[in-house]
């Protein structure tokens, strides 16, 4: 059975990716941190596409939880293997560096950068054994250009970009590709309190993107069509590069 694990699959971009992977016939492992109602809605949407899946609750930034829950799933499901991993879970806690406290720094690096490490470690072994796997990391425009008020978030996402390029070279011979997607402004809970009208005016396409537009690119990186692409960062930003 082909499985796809999407971290932060309960809401926003992660939910759209879960639904897209279900459409493509994957059994979907939906990770979430705390919002069980939203995670169940994603699972219902996965089933509505004629596929199936299950919920895996763990904090990607907590090594113990990742080992217990995800490691336990891997151990107990030897007949299945995670062919596609989407490291999507992430948060932002914006502040100018001058005002930023170490909790804000650690929380943001923990969910994106530590999360990438802890989760990928649990599933890479079976990808290498099967000589096939797809890892897609959701990063951000902020990690490419840096954004004021986001030193923590820019550092976390830039860190994942570096890890993407390094890991891509480590596992290329074994048929595993590792790529990143860098969205600009996407309409989700994360951007809900931003002034959309004002910010959309800065985007050449004059609008925020949708989670579904990001999910389409994930589907491409997950597919055979992208088999010679690895270590790449694809921007999805309506033309907002600077
Ligand atoms: P969102 O709507 O706020 O959803 C965040 C998701 O991540 C939720 O499913 C949440 O689970 C989960 N999550 C958060 N921290 C977690 C943790 N420590 N462990 C496990 N799950 C965790 O966010 P989004 O806009 O869809 O963002 C998804 C990804 O895209 C993030 O990595 C974000 O940095 C990136 N991104 C977003 C934008 C944008 O404009 N929206 C732009 C660039 C990059 P619960 O539901 O349980 O809380």
Residues linked to residue 138 through DSSP beta bridges, in sequence order: 181
Residue 62 CA: nearest ligand 1 atom is 18
Q: Which of 9, 33, 209, 240 to mutate to test the pocket of ligand 1 (most atoms within 8 A of CB)?
A: 33
Q: Catalytic: 153?
A: yes
Catalytic one among 26, 153, 185, 241? 153
Cα–Cα distance measured from residue 192 to residue 95, given in angstroms and rounded to the nearest whole number: 17
Taking a C-beta distance cutoff of 8 angstroms, is the pair 205, 238 a contact?
A: yes
pTM across the whole model: 0.98
Distance 8 CA to ligand 1 centre (A): 6
Cα–Cα distance measured from residue 140 to residue 153, given in angstroms and rounded to the nearest whole number: 9
Closest CA to ligand 1's atom 3: 190
Distance 111 CA to ligand 1 centre (A): 9
Taking a C-beta distance cutoff of 8 angstroms, is the pair 70, 79 a contact?
A: no
| The listed CATH number (3.40.50.1010, 3.40.50.720, 3.30.540.10, 2.60.120.380) that belongs to domain 2-236 | 3.40.50.720
Cα–Cα distance measured from residue 194 to residue 188, given in angstroms and rounded to the nearest whole number: 10
Which amino acids bring their CB within 6 angstroms of ligand 1?
7-8, 10-14, 31-35, 38, 59-61, 88-91, 111-112, 138, 140, 183, 185-186, 188-191
Taking a C-beta distance cutoff of 8 angstroms, is the pair 59, 31 a contact?
A: no
Find the length of the chain: 242
Distance 172 CA to ligand 1 centre (A): 28
Residue in 82, 80, 182, 85 with CA at minimum distance from that of residue 135: 85
Per-position pLDDT tens, the chain of length 242: 899 999 999 999 999 999 999 999 999 999 999 999 999 999 999 999 999 999 999 999 999 999 999 999 999 999 999 999 999 999 999 999 999 999 999 999 999 999 999 999 999 999 999 999 999 999 999 999 999 999 999 999 999 999 999 999 999 999 999 999 999 999 999 999 999 999 999 999 999 999 999 999 999 999 999 999 999 999 999 999 87
């Amino acid at each position: 059975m082909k499985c796809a694990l999407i971290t932060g699959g309960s809401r926003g971009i992660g939910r759209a990716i879960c639904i897209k992977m279900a459409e493509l016939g994957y059994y979907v492992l939906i990770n979430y941190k705390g919002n069980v109602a939203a995670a169940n809605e994603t699972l219902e949407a996965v089933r509505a596409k004629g596929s199936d899946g299950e919920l895996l609750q763990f904090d990607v930034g907590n090594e113990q939880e990742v080992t217990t829950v995800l490691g336990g799933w891997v151990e107990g499901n030897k007949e299945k293997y995670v062919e596609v991993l989407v490291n999507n879970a992430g948060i932002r806690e914006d502040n100018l560096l001058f005002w930023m406290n170490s909790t804000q720094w650690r929380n943001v690096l923990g969910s994106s950068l530590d999360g990438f490490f802890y989760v990928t470690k649990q599933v890479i072994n079976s990808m290498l054994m099967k000589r096939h796997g797809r890892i897609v990391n959701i990063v951000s425009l902020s990690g490419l250009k840096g954004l004021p008020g986001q030193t923590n978030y820019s550092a976390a996402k830039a860190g994942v970009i570096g890890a993407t390029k390094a890991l891509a070279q480590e596992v290329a011979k074994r048929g595993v590709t590792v790529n990143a997607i860098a969205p600009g402004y996407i309409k989700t809970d994360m951007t809900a309190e931003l002034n959309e009208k004002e910010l959309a005016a800065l985007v050449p396409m004059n609008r925020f993107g949708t989670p579904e537009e990001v999910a389409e690119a994930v589907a491409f990186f997950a597919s055979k069509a992208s088999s010679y692409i690895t270590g790449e960062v694809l921007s999805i930003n309506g033309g907002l590069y600077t």
